[in-house]
Amino acid sequence: MTTNHTPTSDHAELVPPCFACPKCSQREMDHLVCDDDGESVACQTCGTNYTVTQLDQDQDYVPSRSPINDDIREIASLQRQIADLLNAAAAKYIELNMAMGKKANELERLVTRGSDRNAANEMAEAFTEYRVNTGELNSRLIEAIERRGHEVFPTQYEPIRSKWAIIENRA
């Protein structure tokens, strides 16, 4: 998502800033679809639906703008983008964590109820081979493997280190 859209052509028709999309700041008339009542607008760029206040049609209303207000609007837009990214990442994290739990439960059933006596050994070796962090897995699975005589330890991770460093700070 971008903000403060630059017109795609030199001849693009722009709506006044007060009618711009509140989410992505789109102002090109071709990208803003107004419904029949003239109050509701659908932004074709970001998908936002919003309403506008009816202004006197005889006026060319342009709200007062300042660089400070533009910067603050930009910050607000960036914060919304960050929130959208974090919400999407959180939803994906939950989805992946649930899938991982489901697979761990399937493996635990295989070890505890399965007829394959070598399953626990195979899993312990595979955890090491694929460097699986077993600390994130279902504890029943790990306990079932260990009850069958195989040691399973969480993989040790290297701490994440910054790829840059501040060498000097000049005031």
**CA dist., res. 41 & res. 31, Å (int):** 10
Q: What is the pLDDT of residue 31?
A: 87
Report whether 145 contacts 120 (CB < 8 A): yes
**CA dist., res. 160 & res. 94, Å (int):** 23
Number of folded domains that form the chain: 2
Question: Containing domain of residue 37, as a range?
Answer: 1-54
The reply to whether 156 falls in a domain is no
The reply to whether 155 falls in a domain is no
Return the structure tokens found at 102. 């489901």
- How far does CA 50 lie from the centroid of its chain? 23
Ranges 37-41, 91-95, 97-101: which has the least confidence: 37-41
The reply to whether 61 falls in a domain is no
pLDDT digits (tens, 9 = 90+) for 17-61: 777 888 888 888 888 888 877 678 888 988 888 887 644 443 454
Q: What is the pLDDT of residue 122?
A: 93
Q: What is the pLDDT of residue 54?
A: 44
- Whether residue 81 sits in one domain with residue 141: yes
Q: What is the pLDDT of residue 58?
A: 37
Q: What is the pLDDT of residue 1?
A: 41
- Whether residue 93 sits in one domain with residue 33: no
Against a cut of 0.85, is the pTM above it?
no
